[in-house]
Amino acid sequence: MGVAGRGRPRATRALLLLLLPLPPLLAAAVPPGPGRANRPLEDVDECAQGLDDCHADALCQNTPTSYKCSCKPGYKGEGRQCDDMDECDNELNGGCVHDCLNIPGNYRCTCFDGFMLAHDGHNCLDVDECMENNGGCQHTCINIMGSYECRCKEGFFLSDNQHTCIHRSEEGLSCMNKDHGCSHICKEAPRGRIACECRPGFELAKNQRDCILTCNHGNGGCQHSCEDTVEGPECSCHPRYRLHADGRSCVEQEGTILEGTESNATSVADGDKRVKRRLLMETCAVNNGGCDRTCKDTSTGVHCSCPIGFTLQLDGKTCKDIDECQTRNGGCNHFCKNTVGSFDCSCKKGFKLLTDEKSCQDVDECSLERTCDHSCINHPGTFVCACNRGYTLYSFTHCGDTNECCVDNGGCQQVCINTVGGYECQCHPGYKLHWNEKDCVEVKGFLPTSMAPSVSLHCGKSGGGDRCFLRCHSGIHLSSDVVIIRTSVTFKLNEGKCSLQKAKLSPEGLRPALPERHSSVKESFQYANLTCSSGKQVPGAPKEMFITVEFERETYKKEVTASCNLSCMVKRTEKRLRKATRTLKKAAHREQFYLQLSGMDVSMAKKSPRASKQREETCGVGQGQEENQCVSCRAGTYYDGSQERCILCPNGTFQNEEGQVTCEPCPRPENLGALKISEAWNVSECGGLCQPGEYSADGFAPCQLCALGTFQPDVGRTSCLPCGGGLPTKHLGATSFQDCETRVQCSPGHFYNTTTHRCIRCPLGTYQPEFGKNNCASCPGNTTTDFDGSTNITQCKNTKCGGELGDFTGYIESPNYPGNYPANSECTWTINPPPKRRILIVVPEIFLPIEDDCGDYLVMRKTSSSNSVTTYETCQTYERPIAFTSRSKKLWIQFKSNEGNSARGFQVPYVTYDEDYQELIEDIVRDGRLYASENHQEILKDKKLIKALFDVLAHPQNYFKYTAQESREMFPRSFIRLLRSKVSRFLRPYK
């Protein structure tokens, strides 16, 4: 009995040890009903059939007679009720050395700016910012724990933007002198004194010169934890790490285990050795259960889990980073870059990342100002600029007038006159322009130029003004043989509109013949002018349209008879005109007023009631409405007033101008069989014309081939152009000068001189991209080339630059931007803000040659003096953006390029803001976090976002134009957090 009694407690204790993990699970188990154990029943899987009452964040496990509920990893509770377990809410901060972010069922470790997450997902390592683009430093980049510093070469000092360097001045103002003594930033103070300031995250020392580091900058140089003290930042480490000898870094302690209670182990000292070994090995209290990250005790032992961004390996203990980019590209539209515990999305050039930080949206460059001079066509990721007719595209976005006359005389047979957006062919005296508007035909009966003129006009300066004399030579006298009689008539149309419509013809398709009665009026005039205007709109009344017709008729002396002198003839003519105008008024009121323009019958268009309600304003002549905008009908079409839209030119007609109400009949319309389809926008589309390499007396078939030694590149011509210099052509019917057999083949950038039979370099301001040409094309507009012998229009550059800039916002732009700037440029700008305003500048990117020793440079300073306060200067390419405030209240800006260099240059936006915000703006632009991420850098390069920011800075009341939703959609969350913290700190003193 004693033996048995002594053994029972030992067995009881062993059983107790085995059941220790069970009580919580037993509490979650559903007890079997009475009598169920006496009779075997078929098991029902409550979990599979959804008959359980487990919590949504619990797992259901079927048992032979019931089921069990247990909370999922990351949750706590008894199974029927599960609550999120805040892994971050413990003294170990979830194992995270910086920030721990709790999320439902899990957690994530994040690092401070300047650090990146280690592969274990918990430790944070320093980021070497100098490895990428030299940290944005102009000279030298020095990496430090949690941050970096830019330093300058001897003879330079660091500018206020903490990245670029400025030449020191041995003399002059104190802040430009090397001995100003400020550790960070030097500011001019009244009476020639200086004042020192520190960068964000530093405090000014008592000597008012040095700057003391705080934990707000790069975590104070500490890898894990930082605490500000009187002596400066003091570093410490996470409990699982120890401080390195350098006093800043942290190293993992060997054999580190998470804290656990020893009571469990001591309480089982008397238990079975196997059970004790099992407990010690399979409890989270010992060595974290062997788990790499999170450990949880369960009925079957420990359960290991990993934070977000990591996956549990097959050993059930180790966590490994998930490469999210391997699965559906991480959900990124374009590029996915894996990081420890997470991933980053980025977009192709021409797209921007949306606020979901995964989707990419095309940047519609055409919606921005200053994108293209004329037309802009947006494409996914890019855009294309186009120019109006008569203009040539240069520098990718700009349009300049094309000098058509410089190539083959514009195709003109005699005289070519260049005009803005076009050109005109003219003829010598005794010739008139052919219908093709290029050839000249002789005027029959014209006075030969060899004969002396009968009348001459002489003008000269006399008595302080011009005096002209019209002289008639011998046998010639002035005569007034012609009397011009003028009259006009105005009539009213109700519900009319100042537009024309095609007249309705009779069923036979012919104009109805006017009855030959005594009331018929037939008059011919030398001139007629029609004008249309609208009357005042009276509410509830139809809109009235007024048409005024002015006529001119000539009466000649030769019509005078014995019974009716000249005065009599004039009165008779005036009487007929009065009768004609009365008849015209009656016809107009009966809506029987027709016009015939260019052989086409048209009438005044009626304005439909529905149209008048939909559109209060009518478009101009030859314009139709598209998307509530008036658009001129393009060439090849005309405006039909009855249909109120642009119509294709009918077969047999053409129209080469925009905004017309009729189409012109093709020459020789009887040759309808040769006419082309409708929408002829040029006479060459009419058909039946001589083709290139052919000619005829009138430009129409039958045609002859150009003879040997001549060529013709155009259609419908009456002659061919000679090669010149006695050069033959390779065959009959040559179409270009390249068919002429020259003695040498000229390369691009040259033209063939038919007099010397040599290749000549294209002069300045011209270019030639092709082989074997006899001319060079003029650069468009006011552009020119850097040198002679240019081979491409991209070498044509606009040299205009400089000037006084606006008071609030504007751009500093290298000449010819976005094309390469010209050599030997010198541009000077000035910004003089209104009183109590300061200047903020953003340099999104700048492209300057790096081969030479600062041959091209951009400098910003107070005045033109080299000793004046300098804000910014550079002679290098920087694709990483930088923002800074001016060190002076006004700016003198200069850009210079030497004779041997050219690059894309820059477009630098600026804004002036109220000086009350000076402290806030400087705090923002000097903070390295503004440039830390690619997303932040893209903001400073996004013209639309910069425009919105500058709009609010220049005029704070414009803030209310943007809703909170629009702000969130425009800027990433990290950028908004940065600004919010700055603004809150700035406003705190006033709360």
**Mean pLDDT comparison of 191-205, 663-677, 754-768, 977-991, highest-scoring range:** 754-768
* Measured distance CA(452)–CA(92) in Å, rounded: 113
Average pLDDT, the chain: 78
Mean pLDDT, residues 735-742: 93
How many percent of the chain have pLDDT more than 90? 28
H helical segments located in 40-125? 46-49
Per-residue pLDDT of 860-906, as tens digits, reads: 988 888 878 888 888 888 888 888 888 888 999 999 998 877 899 99
Name 317's Cβ contacts closer than 8 Å, sequence gap at least 6.
290, 291, 292, 304
Mean pLDDT, residues 799-827: 91
Quote the pLDDT of residue 745: 92
* Measured distance CA(148)–CA(300) in Å, rounded: 50
Lowest-confidence pick of 153-162, 672-681, 685-694:
672-681
Q: If we measure between CA atoms, which residue out of 151, 134, 167 comes closest to residue 873?
A: 167
Q: Mind giving me the DSSP string for 939-961?
A: HHH-HHHHHHHHHHHH-GGGGGG
* Measured distance CA(318)–CA(290) in Å, rounded: 9
Strand partners for 475: none
Q: Residue 481 carries which side chain, given as an amino acid letter?
A: D
Q: Is 661 left (phi over 0), alpha (psi -120 to 50) or beta?
A: alpha
- Tell me the pairing of strands 232-236 and 241-243: unpaired
Helix, strand, coil tally for the chain in percent (to 5): 20, 30, 50
Tokens of 279: 């407990």
Instruction: Return the exposure string of 29-56: e unless at least 16 CB atoms fall within 10 Å of the residue's CB, then b.
Output: beeeeeeeeeeeeeeeebbeeeebebbe
**Does 182-220 carry CATH code 2.10.25.10?**
yes
> What is the distance, to the nearest Å, from the Cα of residue 942 to the centroid of all Cα atoms in its chain?
8
Quote the pLDDT of residue 907: 93
- Tell me the pairing of strands 398-401 and 391-394: antiparallel
CATH class held by domain 802-990: mainly beta
Mean pLDDT, residues 361-386: 91
**Mean pLDDT comparison of 130-134, 404-408, 953-957, highest-scoring range:** 404-408
| pLDDT score of 608 more than 50 | no
CA atoms within 13 A on the CB side of 712: 27
> What is the distance, to the nearest Å, from the Cα of residue 705 to the centroid of all Cα atoms in its chain?
51
| pLDDT score of 40 more than 80 | no
Positions of E strands within 209-329: 211-213, 225-229, 232-236, 241-243, 250-252, 294-298, 301-305, 310-312, 319-321
CATH number of this structure's domain 324-362, picked from the four choices 2.10.25.10, 3.30.710.10, 4.10.490.10, 3.40.50.920 = 2.10.25.10
Per-residue pLDDT of 485-527, as tens digits, reads: 777 777 776 666 666 665 554 443 334 444 444 445 666 666 6
pTM over 0.85: no
Quote the pLDDT of residue 918: 86
**Mean pLDDT comparison of 818-827, 923-932, 973-982, highest-scoring range:** 818-827
How many percent of the chain have pLDDT more than 70? 75
Quote the pLDDT of residue 5: 42
* Measured distance CA(546)–CA(190) in Å, rounded: 72
Mean pLDDT, residues 694-718: 92
Strand, coil or helix: 705: strand
* Measured distance CA(623)–CA(126) in Å, rounded: 65
By the 8 A CB rule, do 605 and 595 touch?
Answer: no
The full set of domain ranges for the chain reads 1-32+44-85, 182-220, 324-362, 481-502+525-556+565-605, 802-990
| pLDDT score of 279 more than 90 | no
Higher-pLDDT residue of 142 and 37 is 142
CATH architecture of the region 1-32+44-85: Ribbon (2.10)
Quote the pLDDT of residue 512: 44
Q: Mind giving me the DSSP string for 588-624?
A: HHTT--EEEETTEEEEEEE--HHHHHH-SSPP-TTEE
Tokens of 565: 């002198």
Quote the pLDDT of residue 82: 93
Quote the pLDDT of residue 502: 57
Higher-pLDDT residue of 597 and 321 is 321
